[in-house]
């Protein structure tokens, strides 16, 4: 009898152990799946950050009244603001093609105005233009304003002028600049692809090839000594023939005077004898070119004695517009 009871108890305990083991197997959590090895072909590459460039001017047209149409380029989706010094003139969105157009209905003031751009991207980045446009609006508002586009250290571009500069057929000399070292930069237009050679008193100063848009620029080194020269500019075709020539007097200012022109609010006389440009660090505070003329009348009583390249002093002014 005792043996039978012991057998029954052992049997019950054995069955209970089996049931508990079965319950553990059923209720235990499933093991975490082993991650599949990464497939480089399926990896999503992150786009490289895009380097943003500063906004630029392409077109600036100003009528005698001072109203203007401007166009340029920038980062698509950004907003570009036109500035006159620290004053905001207007702003527009840059389209998907990276282009912008702005109409300025409120006339620009007379005298010299310096225009620049500020671009703000959708994520809030602010980028200023390194280009500056100098607009000189005559007091009488009866002549085409002078519009000069430039960037420090490069030749200026005359976008619009009341003067013709100096030209012979397709060849023209538009601007004379001095860079940060006092070297002379000549620039103008010629037949696209032609060779342009600059000669002073029979000695070659430099030569270049006109670009697809016809623009050319030649930089003369500091070994180009100060003095008055007979300047000659030749346009040469692919066969080596001279097809156009410009000849005019030119005064190469000393490097010291050229640097003073950049740093002390002086101006450099331009081709055409009346084409003035602002030259305090190329595009510093501007003054009216007519004011500069009046301040230097003792040097320019005879217009024939004005040479491109001369450096004239600028009078002290009460404001950035020369008044």
Mean pLDDT (whole number) for 85-105: 93
Q: Where are the domains of the chain?
A: 56-151, 164-252, 255-312
Kindly tell me if the per-residue pLDDT of 54 is higher than 80. yes
d(CA 124, CA 132): 23
> Is the alpha carbon torsion for 286, 288, 289, 293 positive or negative?
negative
For the domain spanning 56-151, the CATH number is 2.60.40.10
Kindly tell me if the per-residue pLDDT of 225 is higher than 60. yes
Q: Do residues 173 and 246 touch, judged by C-beta distance below 8 A? A: yes
Q: Which of 19-33, 150-164, 299-313 is modeled with the greatest confidence?
A: 150-164
Q: The sheet that has 203-209: what strands, in order across it?
A: 203-209, 195-200, 227-236, 242-252
| Class of the domain covering 164-252 | mainly beta
Kindly tell me if the per-residue pLDDT of 3 is higher than 90. no
Tell me the per-residue pLDDT of 117-165, one tens digit each, with 9 for 90 and over.
999 999 999 999 999 998 888 777 877 888 888 886 676 777 887 665 6
Q: Which of 97-106, 137-146, 261-270, 300-309 is modeled with the greatest confidence?
A: 97-106
Counting every residue written for the chain, the total comes to 323
pLDDT at site 241: 93
Mean pLDDT (whole number) for 112-116: 90
Mean pLDDT (whole number) for 25-47: 50
> Long-range contacts made by residues 127-131, C-beta under 8 angstroms, separation at least 24?
127/52, 127/53, 127/54, 127/55, 128/54, 129/54, 129/55, 129/56, 129/57, 130/54, 131/54, 131/56, 131/57
pLDDT at site 261: 65
pLDDT at site 89: 94
Q: pLDDT above 70 covers what percent of the chain?
A: 65
pLDDT at site 25: 40
pLDDT at site 232: 93
Residue 196: band (very low, low, confident or very high) from pLDDT cuts 50, 70, 90:
very high
Q: In whole angstroms, what separates CA 45 from the centre of its chain?
A: 33
Sequence-distant (6+) residues with CB within 8 A of 171 are 188, 189, 190, 191, 196, 233, 235, 244, 245, 246
Kindly tell me if the per-residue pLDDT of 252 is higher than 50. yes
Q: Which of 31-35, 41-45, 64-68, 221-225 is modeled with the greatest confidence?
A: 64-68
pLDDT at site 57: 94
pLDDT at site 108: 92
pLDDT at site 79: 96
pLDDT at site 171: 93
pTM of the model: 0.54
Kindly tell me if the per-residue pLDDT of 318 is higher than 70. no
d(CA 87, CA 204): 45
Domain 56-151 and domain 164-252, same fold? Reply is yes
pLDDT at site 179: 81
């Amino acid at each position: 009898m005792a043996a039978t009871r012991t057998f029954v108890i052992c049997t019950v305990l054995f069955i209970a152990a089996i049931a508990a083991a079965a319950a553990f197997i059923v209720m235990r959590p499933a093991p975490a799946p082993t991650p599949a090895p990464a497939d480089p072909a399926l990896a999503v590459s992150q786009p490289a950050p895009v380097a943003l460039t500063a906004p630029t001017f392409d077109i600036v047209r100003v009528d005698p009244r001072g109203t203007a149409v401007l166009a340029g380029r920038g980062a698509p989706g950004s907003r570009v603001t036109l500035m006159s010094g620290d004053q905001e003139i207007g702003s527009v969105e840059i389209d998907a093609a990276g282009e912008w157009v702005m109409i300025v209905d409120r006339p620009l003031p007379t005298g010299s105005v310096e225009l620049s751009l500020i671009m703000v991207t959708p994520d809030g980045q602010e980028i200023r233009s390194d280009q500056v446009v100098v607009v000189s609006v005559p007091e009488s508002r009866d002549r085409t304003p002078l519009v000069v586009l430039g960037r420090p250290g490069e030749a200026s571009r005359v976008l619009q002028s009341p003067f013709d500069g100096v030209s012979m057929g397709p060849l023209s000399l538009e601007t004379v600049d001095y860079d940060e070292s006092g070297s002379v930069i000549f620039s103008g237009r010629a037949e696209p692809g032609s060779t342009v050679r600059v000669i002073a008193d029979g000695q070659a100063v430099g030569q270049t090839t006109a670009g697809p848009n016809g623009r050319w620029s030649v930089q003369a080194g500091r070994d180009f000594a100060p003095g008055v020269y007979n300047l000659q500019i030749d346009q040469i075709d692919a066969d080596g023939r001279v097809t156009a020539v410009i000849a005019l007097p030119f005064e190469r200012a000393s490097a010291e005077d050229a640097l003073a022109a950049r740093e002390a609010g002086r101006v450099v006389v331009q081709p055409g004898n009346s084409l003035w440009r602002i030259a305090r660090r190329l595009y510093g505070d501007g003054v009216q070119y007519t004011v500069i003329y009046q301040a230097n009348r003792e040097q320019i009583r005879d217009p024939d004695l004005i040479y491109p390249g001369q450096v004239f002093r600028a009078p002290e002014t009460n404001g950035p517009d020369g008044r």
